[in-house]
Every structure is written in structure tokens, then in C-alpha cells.
Structure 1
């Protein structure tokens, strides 16, 4: 059995000023063929899961087409998406395959095309009108009906933090292999709820509404389908910062029997509507959190700034939390992670360790979210920005931040990077000479994925609201293509 694999994994924040280009994919994942197998082997990613699945199925050959992934940011340059679509859809290596597995995010946006993943699958369908195609998606996907209708099977991450990427791939491939071997005529049904569920209260590593939805989806699938593989339901929550018409929460159901599948989709969607109000975020301001001095009793504290979280399309540039921290009386040894400021990094590298710099942090790219903070900084450390993830999320993947610097500003050690990636792994901090378990207070541009590595390593983890491209209060963001009512979680609406 020959199974083709292709990957387009990018989450686009419509309100980010940072356009995503080829260089951003090349810094993370841009590969094909044997090179892809080498890159992904033994990693906790979807292609890594596909490789581990194939190792358990000696009758299967994987054929890697173009695989591309970039860290979340603004929309992707359209000419690059056009090139990538053509490379995959016209790839001679896919000739003669028995099935196709696509690792998709579901929230990619082009600078022209608002739904490039549907465009990609449509191009593949034109070439392979009858070929079984399975796909996996991020929990924060924006899935159009046209996209779901072109698939034979689909999975979605069930965990947040997303530590089941490899499992999502393996489950999709189990279904795909079953379809190929048994000639199954399966389809994917989409049921949306006309609501967008913000991710602040969406963690599944403890009690919460998304964990309850996942449990209900599994239980309902077993009740309707018994021990059979189909129907199976995968809820998804959409991406709250994608200003595209297909932004909507719902459920994907893979089924053979349309009536069974529709019954399962209707049930899960109804359950999601019943829980929607529990997703409503209510974050205190940065000033309020710091004024409470949660470290005063000796607790080790992490204060997160999700409004500028890179994994939500943040730009590593908003000054809100940093400004509030300047006069908060933080204990010596506290850390701020991070600012993306290539010019300051270059200046630190030129000046060298021990140099003192007069700099401004924040608002380098976008002044809509606050003015820059002027400060005097001592250069403590400079690095090449390269490390390998060692914690649960994307374990084994190599990361390149570009050159970085560690600065001292008052009592704070401040990490400044060239690239813009969330500080979600122990190796990120160790690169800068910081042992995370020795940090009394950590201020981080991060969100729920932070907990995959550090959930049990701080006494207190508190998120705060600041201005930024991924703030909780979406009413302050200029949506044009998403109806405002989709953010109203207090009012029920039957669809």
C-alpha cells in the first residue's frame, strides 16, 4: 500500500502585521521526500506519527510530497501558497498512490485566498477524483463545508496543549488504511454551531468545557456506532483571530452511514452549544495581577500575556505586560520572555557581553497596542538561537530563533530574539543560561501550550489581559468577515 503525505501547517492571525514568507517556512519545516522522513522521525508531530504508524505496518510505503510548516503569524504570501499548491497537486511522486494523508492546520490564510487549504484539496481532487483522502486538523481550525465534503476521513487534535499531534495522524491513517483495504465508501460531515469558542478556557489537561465536549463526542460515537470504526466525531473550536467567513466552531464526523453520521454530528453540536458560555474569558489586567504580588508569599509565579502569544499569531512586540512590570517590585532573577527585536539583538551582539545599551522595547512593528518602553540594558548573554525541543509538545523538533540576547533591565532578565516563537520549552530557557526551576517570577508571551512543559513547575500560573493581536476582548479588533454574533457566547442559537 502506497500512501502519499503532504503538509500545510500554518495558523494565520488576520490582525498581525507580520506577513508569512518562504523564509519563515524554511526556518521551521520546508522539505519533501527522504529529507522529510529524516526531519520528522522520532518527533511528536503529525509526520512523526505517520512514520511511527508505518513502522508498525510493513506492508505500507509512505511517499512524502512537499511538507511545509511555519510558526503562526500573519497571512501567507499568496505566490508562495500558489507554488506550494502546485508542487503538491502536480507532484509526480504521488502517481500511483492508493491513498493520501494531509497534515493540515485548518486556519491558514493567504494574502489573497482566504481559504488556501480548501484550494489545495480541490486541486488534489481534480487530479485524484476517486482517491481516498484523509486529513488531520488543529483544534483551532476554520473548516469550510467544501473542504469537509472532499475528504473521506478526518481527525482533529483532542488535547490542548496539543500533545496528541502524532496520535491525530495515526488515527487518520488507521481510517485511511481501512478505507483502502475494504473499499469503504466513507464521507466527512461538518456541523457548525455559529459560534467561535475562544481558547482561554479550553485546556483539556484538567476539568473544563473542552474536556467535557471531547468525552461526550467519544461516548456518543461509541453509543451510535458500537465497536465499529465509524462513525467517529472530532469537535473543533475555530480560531478566534481569523477574519474569514469559514471561522466557526463545530464537529467533523467520519461515517459510512450518513444517517448515523448526521445523528452523531447533531448530538455533539448540540452539546457544544450547551457548554459555549463556559468558554467566555474573563482575564484581569496586567496591572491588577502584578499589584496583587502573588510571589510575596514565596510562591514561584508565571504570568502569561496571551494577547501577544506567538502561537495565536502574536508578534512578540506588544509592551503592555513589560511596561506594567517595570515598577512592580519583582524579585531579583525574574525573567521576561520575550521581545522579538532583531535590531536590538544585532546591537547586543556587536557590543558584546557586559555592554550597556540604551534601547526601547516593544512597539517596533505595531504601535496600535502601546508605546515603546525606553530602558537601559546590560548584555548578559548572546546565542545563535538554536536548540531542540525536549518537552511534551513537538518533542524532538529542532528550533531556530535566529541570534538572540539575554539582557538585564533592573531586576528583570529579558530575552530578546530575532525570530518570534513562544517560550514553551525548557530548552528555550536553557539556551539563555536560565534554569526554569530557579526563576522566581516568569513573565511570558504565552498561553495554554506553556502548561505542557511548565504546568507543574510553578506554584501559580496566571494569565492577564493586555492590548495585542490575540487579546481576549475581540470587540477591539477590526473584524470585517466574521459576524459579531459568533462571539456572543451568552445567547443560545439553534442552527
Structure 2
């Protein structure tokens, strides 16, 4: 078997003030060709799973363009056009037996509101009979045209997304079955008519998404008992991608689309799971205290070590590392000595710290620089505690082995608080992020972080307690306060 592989992975937040350019992809992942792709061998992202699967299946891999950017704003259309064009027109794909696409599913262009649909439908037009299978993030926004153009689909089942590689392997198992059987598959899309908030969506313990994933697997088992090969994957959509297609639902792959009974069973499974998702939708509704109210209680007084998260500016939700709400609340909260704030993306502040040097005094304005809709900049006076080159590799369970460049960084001490300032926007979700800055997470009494559910993958057992608090930002819990133009308002009712 010769399998083609291509990747377009980006999650777009419509309310983040900056667009994503080519440099954002180049900073994270922008390569092509089988030799270049070797850098992902042994990692826990989808491309790492591809290598693992190929060794097991004894398949030959042909890598086209692999492009991934950290979540952020919408992608400049010329950049998307280039990536899509390179994949669709790649001559190396002419000789493959099947095509695997690693997609996020919630990418938005400055013009094209569903570039994944554009990519897949153009590939289908070029290869009308080729089996094409894709994997998606749990927060994807699949469209009817996208589903119709695919032969199979898989979606992350875990949140935090520690099963990226496994999701790719499951997609490739579907693709292999189609190739070996000389058949085409069918993907059924069923939607709920609502956007599910992600604040209570974790699957690392009891909760509504854990129950929904179990129900999806039960649907697969029911079908298998009747000899019907289907795969059932719920998706939650991404609430901050302002698209008319933004909706939660289910993708069901049927590997026997010519069998009428199999088609009926696949469609029935999709309908039942959508009904279950609607039934459980109220359990997703967040009830976050404001940062000011929560910090005013000083929950660390009993000696417990706390991580207090600011999901409204979480980079993995498209935040820009720029909102001042949590820092403003923290500065008046009588934090214990050794507390840490992670982070602000502010190259100018880092440059000022470099000029001052280690131990030097600095006066900085932090937050509200890219966009003051969510709060004005805050003035702080402190001393430079540490300077770094911003280079590390992830060692935690999510995106293991991926190299990260924060650009030059600084740690500035302001009273009892150490504030991390970076030159690029990257979530503080990995232990090496903190070790780079001379910080041992096991010894931090209070960590204030621009993070959300993915934080728990590495730190769920490190802190005695973890809380999420509400502040104004591009990914705030009360999403209806944001200026949506495309998503029908009734789909956002759960976010009130």
C-alpha cells in the first residue's frame, strides 16, 4: 500500500486581534516530503501516529504539504490558497492508493470560512475514485460538503487531546480497509443545532463528554454485533469560530455504503447520539466565578497549592496572551511568595528586560496592547529574574517531542509574583515551559495561567486544586458578549 499524507491544522478564533500569516505556520510546522517529515517520528501528534501505523501495516508513505499553526486568529487567504494549492496539485499524490488528511476542522480564512471543505472537495474532484479519509480535532466544524467528499473520518476522543497519534492510526485503519477491499466509504453528518461550551468538556474524569464518548462506542458495538462496520465520532465544534456552519454533532463512517441495512444502522446511530448530546447539553454550561471574586477568597490560605486558569485568553482557544484581567485581579490578592503568572506575549517587554539585564529594574506595561477591548494595559515595576532563548521540547503527554520556540523570554519579579513574558504566543501546558524559566511547578504555591483543559494533561496531579475563572477575553465563557455575525444566536444559548 502506498498512502499519501497531507496536513492542514489550525483552529481559528474570530475575536483574536491578529491574523495568522505564513510565519506562524513556519514557526510551528511547515514542511513537505517524506524525508522532511521524519522529524515527527516518535512524537505524539498525528504525524507521529502515521509513522507508527505504517510500520505496523508495512505501508509506504508519501508526504505532501504538512502545515500546522498554533490556534489564533483567522488565516490570511493567500497563505491558505498556497497550502491548499500545494496539496491539491501535488504530483506525488498521483500514484497513491489512498489519501490520509490530518485536519483540525475549525480553520477559518479571511475569506474562506471552511478551507478544509475547499481542500477536500478539490481533492475529490481531482481523484473521484480514490479513498480519502481524514482525522479531526474534537472541536471541528465539518460541513455537509466535507462529509460527502470523504470516505471516512475519525475525531479525537480525549480532552485534553492526548490521543492525536491514535486518532491518526484509527483513520489509517479505516483507509487501509477501504484500499484492501477496493471500496469507497460513506460519512454521515448529523448536527445538534447548538454550540457546546468546552469549559466542562474534559474526558479525564466523569462529565458529559465522557458519557457521550462512551455512548458513541456503545453505538459501534451495537452495529458490530450485527456485522455492520461503522465508526461513530461526536464533535463539539469551536464556539469562537464565527461561521454559519459552527455546530456540534456526529460523524459516522460506514464502510459498507452499498448495504442498505448498514446505511440505515449508521444513520440511526447518528440520530441517537445527537439526541443524547442534546439531552446532556445542559451539563456543559459553565458557571465560572470572576477572577476578582475568586481571588478575593484567597483559597490558598489553607496551604493548598492552586492553579488558577484564565481560559478567556487561553492560546489553545485562540487567545493572544494579551488580556490583563487575571493579572489585574492578582496584583491586589495578597498572593504567597513564589507565585507565578504565565504569561504575556510581549516582545517589547522582553526587550526592555534584556536591556535592564539580570537583577535590573524594569517598568513595564502588560496586557491590552494588541486589543484594549478586554481591558487597558497594566503598569508594573519589577526586577529581571531570568532571561532565556525560549527553546524547549515538550515532555508532557500532549504533543510529546514537539520542539517549541517562544522567542526570547524573561521572568520579571513583581512583589511575590514572577511574571513570564515571551516573544510568541504558546500555551503554558508543558513542564518544560516552566523549567526553561527556572520554575519548578511542584514548588509553586499559586500558578496563574492563560490555559484551560489541556493544562490538566501535565498538571492535573501536580496541584492540589485547579480552578477556572472568568475575565473578558476572546474565548470568555459568556460567549454571547462577543460580536458574532455568522453563528445563529440560538446556537449560543448554552453560553449565556
1:114 alignment counterpart: 113
1:130 alignment counterpart: 129
Q: Within 1, Cα distance between the matches of 2:125 and 2:464? A: 54
- The question of whether the paired residues in 2 share the 8 Å contact of 1:276 and 1:490 is answered with no
Q: Within 1, Cα distance between the matches of 2:475 and 2:64? A: 33
Structure 1 residues 185 and 126, CA gap change in structure 2 (3 angstroms): closer
Q: Within 2, Cα distance between the matches of 1:36 and 1:30? A: 10
1:236 alignment counterpart: 235
The Cα shift of 1:186 comes to 1.4
Correspondence for 1:323 among 313, 317, 328: 328
Give CA deviations for 1:130-183 in whole Å, capped at 9, x if unaligned.
100000000000111110110000000000000000010000000100000012
Give CA deviations for 1:236-287 in whole Å, capped at 9, x if unaligned.
0000101001100000000123211101111111111110010111100001
The Cα shift of 1:229 comes to 6.9
Q: Within 1, Cα distance between the matches of 2:228 and 2:64? A: 28
RMSD between superposed Cα atoms in Å:
1.2
2:297 alignment counterpart: 292
Once the two structures are superposed, the pairs formed by residues 298-309 of structure 1 within 5 Å of their partners are: 298-309=303-314
Confirm whether residue 332 of structure 1 aligns to residue 337 of structure 2.
yes
Confirm whether residue 412 of structure 1 aligns to residue 420 of structure 2.
no
Q: Within 2, Cα distance between the matches of 1:387 and 1:439? A: 20
2:42 alignment counterpart: 42
2:217 alignment counterpart: 218
Confirm whether residue 187 of structure 1 aligns to residue 192 of structure 2.
no
1:379 alignment counterpart: 384
1:71 alignment counterpart: 70
1:249 alignment counterpart: 248
Q: Within 2, Cα distance between the matches of 1:325 and 1:143? A: 40
Q: Within 2, Cα distance between the matches of 1:451 and 1:444? A: 12
Q: Within 2, Cα distance between the matches of 1:158 and 1:294? A: 33
Confirm whether residue 397 of structure 1 aligns to residue 396 of structure 2.
no
The Cα shift of 1:196 comes to 0.5
- The question of whether the paired residues in 2 share the 8 Å contact of 1:307 and 1:465 is answered with yes
Give CA deviations for 1:215-243 in whole Å, capped at 9, x if unaligned.
00100121123285721100000001010
Gap runs ≥5 in structure 1: none
Gap runs ≥5 in structure 2: 257-261
Structure 1 residues 244 and 99, CA gap change in structure 2 (3 angstroms): same
Give CA deviations for 1:274-301 in whole Å, capped at 9, x if unaligned.
1001011110000111111111011000
Q: Within 2, Cα distance between the matches of 1:148 and 1:488? A: 26
1:261 alignment counterpart: 266
Give CA deviations for 1:174-205 in whole Å, capped at 9, x if unaligned.
01000000123310000001000010000000
Q: Within 2, Cα distance between the matches of 1:489 and 1:391? A: 32
Tell me the SS of whatever aligns to 2:167.
helix
2:28 alignment counterpart: 28
1:466 alignment counterpart: 471
Give CA deviations for 1:27-51 in whole Å, capped at 9, x if unaligned.
1000111344322100000110010
Structure 1 residues 260 and 441, CA gap change in structure 2 (3 angstroms): same
- The question of whether the paired residues in 2 share the 8 Å contact of 1:378 and 1:408 is answered with yes
- The question of whether the paired residues in 2 share the 8 Å contact of 1:6 and 1:102 is answered with yes
Q: Within 2, Cα distance between the matches of 1:65 and 1:110? A: 21
Which deviates the most, 73-82 or 122-131? 122-131
Q: Within 1, Cα distance between the matches of 2:228 and 2:34? A: 32
1:354 alignment counterpart: 359
Q: Within 2, Cα distance between the matches of 1:53 and 1:297? A: 49
- The question of whether the paired residues in 1 share the 8 Å contact of 2:31 and 2:37 is answered with no
- The question of whether the paired residues in 2 share the 8 Å contact of 1:277 and 1:490 is answered with no
The Cα shift of 1:351 comes to 2.2
Q: Within 2, Cα distance between the matches of 1:245 and 1:289? A: 35
1:12 alignment counterpart: 12
Correspondence for 1:486 among 462, 479, 491: 491
Which deviates the most, 429-438 or 217-226? 217-226
- The question of whether the paired residues in 2 share the 8 Å contact of 1:202 and 1:279 is answered with yes
Tell me the SS of whatever aligns to 1:199.
coil
Confirm whether residue 432 of structure 1 aligns to residue 437 of structure 2.
yes
Q: Within 1, Cα distance between the matches of 2:362 and 2:410? A: 12
- The question of whether the paired residues in 1 share the 8 Å contact of 2:197 and 2:495 is answered with no
2:259 alignment counterpart: none
Tell me the SS of whatever aligns to 1:95.
helix
- The question of whether the paired residues in 1 share the 8 Å contact of 2:315 and 2:427 is answered with yes
Q: Within 2, Cα distance between the matches of 1:5 and 1:373? A: 46
- The question of whether the paired residues in 1 share the 8 Å contact of 2:479 and 2:495 is answered with no
Q: Within 2, Cα distance between the matches of 1:462 and 1:400? A: 28
Q: Within 2, Cα distance between the matches of 1:423 and 1:226? A: 44
Q: Within 1, Cα distance between the matches of 2:215 and 2:25? A: 37
Confirm whether residue 56 of structure 1 aligns to residue 56 of structure 2.
yes
- The question of whether the paired residues in 1 share the 8 Å contact of 2:3 and 2:96 is answered with yes
| Stretches (4+) displaced over 3 A | none
Tell me the SS of whatever aligns to 1:225.
helix
Correspondence for 2:319 among 310, 314, 328: 314
Confirm whether residue 101 of structure 1 aligns to residue 100 of structure 2.
yes
